[in-house]
Amino acid sequence: SGWTSTLLRGYKGRFAYGLPLLPSNRRGQWNDILSGQHDYVFRKIARELRAGGRGDAAIRVGLEANGDWFAWGVTADTADEFRAAFRRVVSIMNAESPALTFWFDVSAGYGLRGQKNRLDALTLLYPGDRYVDGISMDHYDFYELRAVNAATWARAVKPVKGPGLADAVAFARAHRKGFAVPEWGVHGGAGIGGGDNPYFIQKMYNFFMANRDVLVFECYFNEPDPYIRNALFSPVQMPKSSAAYRRWF
C-alpha cells in the first residue's frame, strides 16, 4: 500500500483497494486470519494508506471471494470463516483509519460452491451491516454474461448460476447500502469473451444511470494483456467499444 500511495500521488479521486485475505500458498487457511497471525499486515496497510493520503479508500475486503481463483475463495461450508475473517479485518483497519469504507465484493455470475440457492454468494457470505459500507460486484462481458441483445443482457444481470448486477443492486437497497462496480469491461480472451462489443458499453451506462440513486462508483478495467485484451486506451484494442465509451461516459 505504501508504493501504491506513491504511485497515486496527485490523483484527486478516491482509491478503490482490492484487499487479499490470504497469500497464494495458504489457500483456505482461514485460521491464519482468525488466530490473529496476520493482524499486523492489515494494521500496516491501514496505516500506510492513511499516511499516504488515502485514508478514505474504499477497501474491497477479500474481493471476488465467491470464485475459486484466489486463495481466499469461499465455499458454502466455509462461509462462517469468511464472515468472521471479514469482520476481524474491518475492525483492525477501521481502528487505524476511521475514514476507510469497507466493501463486500463478489464476482457476477459465479455461484458459491456447495450452494443451495443462486443468491447464496450474497446471502451466505454477507458479514453484516455493521461491517459493510457498500455492496460491490465485478462484471465482464464473458462466458454466460455475454450480452448482444435485450434477452442476453437480461440473463447477464440475473444469471442462472449465481448473482448478477440486478441482484447485487437489490441486495444493496435492501440493506440500505451503496453500490459499486469496481471492475467491469468487455473481454477479448479467446473463446471466453464477447470481444469488441459497443452494445455492452451502452448497456452498462444505462444500468449505471438507472441505479444512480445507490451507485457510489464504477471503474472500467482497462487491461491490454492477452488474457483479457480489452483496453479502450493506451492502446486502443477495442475501437468500437472505445468509441462507445467516449460517447456514453
**pLDDT (tens digit per residue) in 28-59:** 999 999 999 999 999 999 999 999 999 999 99
pLDDT, residue 2, reads 65
Count, in order, helices (H) and strands (E) of the chain.
9, 6
Helices 39-51, 79-96: inter-axial angle, 10-degree rounding: 40
pLDDT, residue 1, reads 58
Instruction: Please give the Cα distance from 163 to 5 (Å, whole number).
Output: 33
pLDDT of residue 157 exceeding 70: yes
Mapping DSSP to helix (H, G, I), strand (E, B) and coil, where does residue 49 land? Answer: helix
pLDDT, residue 181, reads 98
Going 187 to 193 to 195 to 197, the CA torsion angle's sign is negative
Considering the entire predicted model, what is its pTM?
Answer: 0.95
Instruction: Please give the Cα distance from 40 to 16 (Å, whole number).
Output: 21
**Count of alpha carbons within 13 Å of 57, Cβ hemisphere only?**
29
Computed over every residue of the chain, the mean pLDDT equals 96
Task: Provide the pLDDT confidence category of residue 6 given band limits of 50, 70 and 90.
Answer: confident
Q: Are 136 and 103 in contact (CB under 8 A)?
A: yes
Task: Dig out the grid coordinates for 226 from the structure.
Answer: 492477452
Instruction: Please give the Cα distance from 102 to 72 (Å, whole number).
Output: 17
Instruction: Please give the radius of gyration of the chain, using alpha carbons only, rounded to the nearest integer.
Output: 18
